[in-house]
Amino acid sequence: MFNQDLHLIEFASQGQQCAAAHVDYVLDHNGEIFWLSELGSPSDSRCLRNNRSGSVERLRHILKQCTREQSRVFFSFDVDSIRASDCPGVSCSSPIGLTAHEALCMCYEAGKCPVVDLMDISEFNPRVELTITGRLIVNMIYHFLVGYAERP
Protein backbone atom coordinates (compact mmCIF):
# COMPACT_ATOMS: atom_id res chain seq x y z
CA MET A 1 0.00 0.00 0.00
CA PHE A 2 1.32 3.43 -0.94
CA ASN A 3 1.77 5.88 1.93
CA GLN A 4 -0.20 9.02 1.02
CA ASP A 5 2.12 11.17 3.17
CA LEU A 6 5.03 10.40 0.87
CA HIS A 7 5.70 12.39 -2.27
CA LEU A 8 7.54 10.39 -4.92
CA ILE A 9 9.84 12.44 -7.15
CA GLU A 10 11.76 10.78 -9.99
CA PHE A 11 14.65 12.86 -11.23
CA ALA A 12 16.65 12.69 -14.49
CA SER A 13 14.53 9.86 -15.89
CA GLN A 14 15.17 8.89 -19.48
CA GLY A 15 12.25 7.90 -21.69
CA GLN A 16 14.11 5.14 -23.49
CA GLN A 17 14.87 3.48 -20.14
CA CYS A 18 11.58 4.00 -18.33
CA ALA A 19 8.71 1.54 -18.81
CA ALA A 20 5.28 3.03 -19.50
CA ALA A 21 3.83 0.98 -16.62
CA HIS A 22 6.35 2.58 -14.25
CA VAL A 23 5.46 6.09 -15.46
CA ASP A 24 1.78 5.29 -14.98
CA TYR A 25 2.44 4.02 -11.44
CA VAL A 26 4.33 7.17 -10.44
CA LEU A 27 1.71 9.50 -11.90
CA ASP A 28 -1.22 7.47 -10.54
CA HIS A 29 0.27 7.89 -7.05
CA ASN A 30 0.58 11.68 -7.36
CA GLY A 31 4.31 11.44 -8.02
CA GLU A 32 6.32 13.68 -10.29
CA ILE A 33 8.84 12.82 -12.99
CA PHE A 34 11.53 15.29 -14.00
CA TRP A 35 12.85 14.08 -17.35
CA LEU A 36 16.54 14.42 -18.17
CA SER A 37 15.60 16.34 -21.31
CA GLU A 38 14.00 19.06 -19.12
CA LEU A 39 17.06 19.70 -16.97
CA GLY A 40 19.24 21.74 -19.30
CA SER A 41 22.90 21.42 -20.15
CA PRO A 42 25.66 20.40 -17.76
CA SER A 43 27.59 23.30 -16.30
CA ASP A 44 31.27 23.85 -16.95
CA SER A 45 31.66 24.72 -13.27
CA ARG A 46 33.85 22.28 -11.40
CA CYS A 47 33.07 23.83 -8.03
CA LEU A 48 31.11 21.43 -5.85
CA ARG A 49 29.32 24.10 -3.84
CA ASN A 50 28.42 26.46 -6.67
CA ASN A 51 27.57 24.15 -9.55
CA ARG A 52 24.94 25.77 -11.76
CA SER A 53 24.01 22.90 -14.07
CA GLY A 54 20.31 22.59 -14.81
CA SER A 55 20.04 19.28 -12.96
CA VAL A 56 21.79 20.52 -9.80
CA GLU A 57 19.75 23.73 -9.78
CA ARG A 58 16.50 21.77 -10.21
CA LEU A 59 17.42 19.42 -7.36
CA ARG A 60 18.25 22.41 -5.13
CA HIS A 61 14.82 23.85 -5.92
CA ILE A 62 13.06 20.56 -5.11
CA LEU A 63 14.98 20.16 -1.84
CA LYS A 64 14.21 23.74 -0.80
CA GLN A 65 10.52 23.08 -1.48
CA CYS A 66 10.66 19.89 0.60
CA THR A 67 12.37 21.84 3.40
CA ARG A 68 9.67 24.54 3.36
CA GLU A 69 6.97 21.86 3.48
CA GLN A 70 8.91 19.97 6.18
CA SER A 71 8.70 16.81 4.06
CA ARG A 72 11.03 13.95 4.96
CA VAL A 73 13.12 12.85 1.97
CA PHE A 74 14.54 9.48 0.98
CA PHE A 75 17.18 10.33 -1.64
CA SER A 76 17.50 7.37 -4.00
CA PHE A 77 19.95 7.72 -6.88
CA ASP A 78 19.56 5.38 -9.87
CA VAL A 79 23.00 5.35 -11.50
CA ASP A 80 21.39 4.41 -14.84
CA SER A 81 20.73 8.16 -15.08
CA ILE A 82 24.49 8.84 -15.46
CA ARG A 83 25.91 8.65 -18.98
CA ALA A 84 27.70 5.41 -19.84
CA SER A 85 31.08 7.05 -20.45
CA ASP A 86 31.12 8.16 -16.80
CA CYS A 87 29.28 5.18 -15.28
CA PRO A 88 29.49 2.04 -17.46
CA GLY A 89 28.70 -0.58 -14.80
CA VAL A 90 24.93 -0.31 -14.73
CA SER A 91 22.05 -2.53 -15.78
CA CYS A 92 20.78 -0.24 -18.57
CA SER A 93 23.51 2.12 -19.79
CA SER A 94 22.91 5.03 -22.15
CA PRO A 95 25.23 7.39 -24.05
CA ILE A 96 23.24 10.33 -22.68
CA GLY A 97 22.65 11.25 -19.08
CA LEU A 98 23.97 13.18 -16.14
CA THR A 99 27.71 13.68 -15.87
CA ALA A 100 29.68 12.14 -13.01
CA HIS A 101 30.35 15.65 -11.73
CA GLU A 102 26.64 16.47 -11.69
CA ALA A 103 25.97 13.24 -9.78
CA LEU A 104 28.59 14.20 -7.17
CA CYS A 105 27.14 17.71 -6.83
CA MET A 106 23.63 16.31 -6.46
CA CYS A 107 24.76 13.92 -3.72
CA TYR A 108 26.46 16.82 -1.92
CA GLU A 109 23.27 18.92 -2.13
CA ALA A 110 21.16 16.03 -0.82
CA GLY A 111 23.56 15.44 2.05
CA LYS A 112 23.47 19.12 2.97
CA CYS A 113 19.65 19.24 3.06
CA PRO A 114 18.27 18.89 6.61
CA VAL A 115 15.12 17.00 5.54
CA VAL A 116 17.01 14.20 3.75
CA ASP A 117 16.94 11.19 6.08
CA LEU A 118 18.26 8.40 3.85
CA MET A 119 20.37 7.84 0.76
CA ASP A 120 20.25 4.87 -1.59
CA ILE A 121 22.17 4.10 -4.78
CA SER A 122 20.60 1.60 -7.18
CA GLU A 123 21.30 -0.24 -10.45
CA PHE A 124 25.08 -0.73 -10.01
CA ASN A 125 26.01 -3.97 -11.80
CA PRO A 126 29.61 -5.02 -11.04
CA ARG A 127 29.32 -7.91 -13.51
CA VAL A 128 29.14 -5.33 -16.31
CA GLU A 129 31.99 -3.12 -15.02
CA LEU A 130 33.47 -2.73 -11.56
CA THR A 131 36.30 -0.21 -11.33
CA ILE A 132 35.08 3.10 -12.80
CA THR A 133 31.52 2.74 -11.55
CA GLY A 134 32.59 1.44 -8.15
CA ARG A 135 34.88 4.43 -7.65
CA LEU A 136 32.15 6.83 -8.76
CA ILE A 137 29.69 5.32 -6.27
CA VAL A 138 32.21 5.58 -3.43
CA ASN A 139 32.69 9.25 -4.37
CA MET A 140 28.92 9.79 -4.48
CA ILE A 141 28.64 8.47 -0.92
CA TYR A 142 31.62 10.59 0.13
CA HIS A 143 30.07 13.77 -1.32
CA PHE A 144 26.75 13.00 0.39
CA LEU A 145 28.63 12.71 3.69
CA VAL A 146 30.56 15.94 3.09
CA GLY A 147 27.22 17.71 2.59
CA TYR A 148 25.83 15.99 5.68
CA ALA A 149 28.83 17.17 7.74
CA GLU A 150 28.10 20.75 6.66
CA ARG A 151 24.48 20.73 7.86
CA PRO A 152 23.63 23.56 10.23
Asked if residue 48 belongs to a domain, the reply is: yes
* Average pLDDT across the chain, whole number: 85
Asked if residue 83 belongs to a domain, the reply is: yes
Q: The pTM is what? A: 0.77
Asked if residue 68 belongs to a domain, the reply is: yes
**Distance (Å, whole) CA 131 – CA 127:** 11
Asked if residue 72 belongs to a domain, the reply is: yes
The residue segments making up the domain with residue 96 are: 9-149
Asked if residue 124 belongs to a domain, the reply is: yes
Asked if residue 3 belongs to a domain, the reply is: no
Q: How many domains does the chain have?
A: 1
**Distance (Å, whole) CA 130 – CA 147:** 26
For 16-73, write each residue's pLDDT tens digit: 677 888 889 888 887 888 777 776 655 554 555 666 678 888 899 999 999 999 988 8
Q: What is the CATH number of the domain that holds 30?
A: 3.40.800.10
